[in-house]
Amino acid sequence: MFKSDLAHTNSKLNPWLVGFFAGAYPMLFYAGNNYSLVNSWGHFWFFIGFFLILPMLVAKVTGEVIQRFFGVHWRSFWLAFFGIGWFLYCLKATLLEAPHRKITLGIIIFALVYAYFFKKYHRKIMMLQGIVAFLALVPLSGQIYGNLTLSEDWKKLPDQIDQVALLQKPNIYLLQPDGLVNFSELSRGHYKYRDSSFRQYLNHNGFTHYDNFRSNYASTLSSNSALLMMKHHYYNHGNSFSEALDARESIVSENHVLNVLSNNGYQTHLISVAPYLTVNHPELGFDTANFSPKEIGYLSQGFNKRASVIDDLRERLDLWQNGDPENSEGQMTDAPQFYFIEYFNPGHIHGRKEMSLGVAGERDLWLESMERGQQTTKALIELITQRDPGALILILADHGGFVGFEYTNQIYTKTQDRDLIYSIFSSQLSIKWPDDLMPEESIDFTTSVNVFRLLFAHLSQNKSFKDFLEPDNSFVILKDNGFKGVYQYIDAQGQIDCKKIEP
């Protein structure tokens, strides 16, 4: 009698709810913790389909089939197995980009054991799945609201530089080695790197160095969005560690730099070692990119694919110089070219405390990575100078390497240590000017937010655009006891000045 009643009770498991609760929490958890990576309509429909509709249909259809051919007992076993197995598999898929077959096998074995011994408790487990899903929905709702109410006032220009007519239109190559510190800082502070061979190499190839150059922000997205918008965003006065919610759109979809280049007839190309900048499938403002949305997928954090920026640039140069049969009837285009080439070496030290090798160990790793990045930079320079000798080449890093900290997240705790602060922001700027574009007077490149404004003023021979330079300040988000919010760390004169930026 007891076994019959138990089977009857378990047979009442609603397969629609089994499937729904199996996928709800993993979906909301992943979206809430990675909102800036998934804020596209493509992601929305993929998540609804993969995490909710698919498991609901599978649970319903297979449950009915199993009950018809094998009975109620096996139906309840299957629904419990599927309900916990899909839940754990989805969590694994959101946390780990690689397949990890051993983990998947472990999930299957655990789900079989669970279903055999604990299937009668699965409705209670579903209640727990529903509770954690609701808890995950709360912070996600806040992020969605913040995104919908996000002000774009910071993007407005104070003048008409986006309408500038460039008198000189060289092909422009922006090489961005992530986290490369300026030569002026590399030999001092926490770096103390004395090898000058890379600087000598650049000197030999005609580069001009801008010592003491630095970024305005502490991360790739925050720095590049200001760089390409030619405007400060001040982290949109954020109160957390997250980037500006639309940072990727400000970099790869629409920005003032791309508008200027497009208005002046440039073809624009994005080449990256990994699809970090396009992982949320933003609308592409560049004419081409070396990663398509199909390659990236919907459960990527931007590092699941790798490319050779050297090979991809060579391929793009072949299409430019020999003609693209599909687009230009096999003829070389006369349009000026702009290439934004991003690669991750040297990068920065490990992000979290549990991964840190300590101050000295992290410094050694960073220096090794810097040397690999130098090899990539040299290869790119040699390719460009061979194929496009009249090009304008900028080596422009996005931020510093954070050497001197034990781990990256320490930057969110207030410090007055000058060398640590400059380790965050000091970044390389070296420019190879074509002979006919060499400035008669040195251009005062100080921070990344003003690089393109100064460059466009030079190429247009219109000094009035320099009247609207952004302040050369550097900012960080702090979440320390007594120091929470956006803080200025370095003032326009390069002095340490920790001052809160009020909304």
pLDDT tens for each residue of 302-321:
777 889 999 999 999 998 88
> Which carries the bigger pLDDT value, residue 449 or residue 31?
449
Q: How confident is the model at residue 325 (pLDDT cuts 50, 70, 90)?
A: low
Q: Mark whether 342 and 269 lie in a shared domain.
A: yes
C-beta separation of 275 from 295 below 8 A: yes
| pLDDT at residue 496 tops 60 | yes
pLDDT tens sequence across 336-393: 999 999 999 999 888 888 888 999 999 999 999 999 999 999 999 999 999 999 999 9
Q: Which amino acid is at 158?
A: P
pLDDT greater than 50 at residue 9: no
Q: Are residues 141 and 183 in the same domain?
A: no
Q: Read off the pTM.
A: 0.87
Q: Read off the pLDDT of residues 398-417 as tens digits, 9 standing for 90 and up.
A: 999 999 999 998 999 999 99
- Is 414 inside any structural domain? yes
The whole-number pLDDT of residue 152 equals 82
**Angle of CA points 391, 393, 399, to nearest 5°:** 165
Nearest to 474 by CA among 426, 430, 431, 428: 426
The answer to whether residues 308 and 444 belong to one domain is yes
What CATH number should be reported for the domain holding residue 299? Answer: 3.40.720.10
Q: Are residues 124 and 221 in the same domain?
A: no
Mean of the per-residue pLDDT values of the chain: 88
pLDDT of residue 245: 67
- Any residues with CB less than 8 A from the CB of 156 and at least 6 apart, and which? 231
pLDDT (mean) for 282-293: 92
Burial of 427 (0-12, 13-18, 19+ CB in 10 A): buried
CB 140 within 8 A of CB 242: no
Q: What is the pLDDT of residue 163?
A: 93
Q: Which domain holds residue 182?
A: 162-469
pLDDT of 125 over the 80 cut: yes
User: Do residues 245 and 201 share a domain?
Assistant: yes
Asked if residue 286 is part of any domain, the answer here is: yes
Residue that finishes a domain, picked among 91, 121, 148: 148
DSSP state of 170: -
Q: Give the pLDDT score at 191.
A: 92
- Return the structure tokens found at 373: 């990045």
H helical segments located in 253-324: 256-263, 293-296, 309-322
Residue type, 342: E
In a domain, 500, yes or no: no
Looking at the domain assignment, is residue 479 inside a domain?
Answer: no
User: In whole angstroms, what is the distance from residue 336 CA to residue 268 CA?
Assistant: 9
Higher per-residue pLDDT: 218 or 150: 218
Predicted confidence band at 3 (pLDDT cuts at 50, 70, 90)? Answer: very low
Distance CA 388, CA 110 (A): 59
**Residue 207 domain flag:** yes
Task: State the CB neighbour count (10 A cutoff) for residue 398.
Answer: 24
HSE-CB at 461 with a 13 A cutoff on CA atoms is 6
Residue 465, pLDDT above cutoff 90: yes
Q: Per-residue confidence at 159, pLDDT binned at 50, 70, 90?
A: very high
Give the number of domains in the chain. 2
How far is Cα of residue 363 from the mean position of the Cα atoms in its chain?
23
Q: What is the pLDDT of residue 339?
A: 97
Q: Which tokens sit at 229?
A: 């918008």
Q: What is the pLDDT of residue 57?
A: 94
| Shared-domain flag, residues 312 and 171 | yes
- Mean pLDDT across the stretch 476-485? 85
pLDDT at 311: 94
Q: Residue 10 pLDDT > 60, yes or no?
A: no
Tell me the C-alpha distance between 118 and 228, whole Å.
Answer: 56
Helices and strands counted in the chain (H then E): 18, 10
Using the structure block, give the residue that is written with the tokens 């000189």: 168
DSSP, res 48: I
Specify if 489 maps to a domain: no
Is the pLDDT score of 447 beyond 90?
yes
- Do residues 78 and 177 both lie within one domain? no
Radius of gyration of the chain (CA): 27
Same domain for 135 and 180, yes or no, is no
Which residues in 241-374 belong to E strands, given as ranges? 267-272, 288-289, 337-343
Question: What tokens appear for 138 in the block?
Answer: 């709360």
* pLDDT at res. 324: 59
Burial of 259 (C-beta count, 10 Å sphere; 0-12/13-18/19+): middle
CA distances from 52 to 10, 23, 60, 265 (A): 22, 6, 12, 46
Task: Please check whether residues 271 and 316 belong to one and the same domain.
Answer: yes
Q: Where are the beta strands (DSSP E) in 315-365?
A: 337-343
Structure tokens at 81: 């197995």
Q: Are residues 177 and 140 in the same domain?
A: no
Three-state secondary structure of 70-111:
HCHHHHHHHHHHHHHHHHHHHHHHHHCCCCCHHHHHHHHHHH
Is the same domain home to 305 and 177?
yes
Residue 306 lies in a domain: yes
Mark whether 197 and 309 lie in a shared domain.
yes
pLDDT exceeds 90 at position 71: no
Helix or strand run (H / E) with residue 376: helix 358-387
**Can you give the pLDDT at residue 479?**
85
Confidence of residue 6 (pLDDT cuts 50, 70, 90): very low
- Rounded to whole angstroms, the Cα distance separating 449 from 459 reads 17
Does 430 score more than 60 pLDDT?
yes
Ranges 30-39, 125-134, 360-369: which has the least confidence: 30-39
Query: Is beta strand 288-289 parallel, antiparallel or unpaired with respect to 474-480?
Result: unpaired
Which residue did the predictor score with more confidence, 496 or 242? Answer: 496
Q: Which residue has the higher pLDDT, 288 or 148?
A: 288
Look at residue 254 and tell me if it is in a domain: yes
**How many Cα atoms are found within 13 Å in the side-chain-facing hemisphere of 420?**
16
* Residue 326 reports pLDDT greater than 60: no
Looking at the predicted structure, is the pLDDT value of residue 2 above 50? no
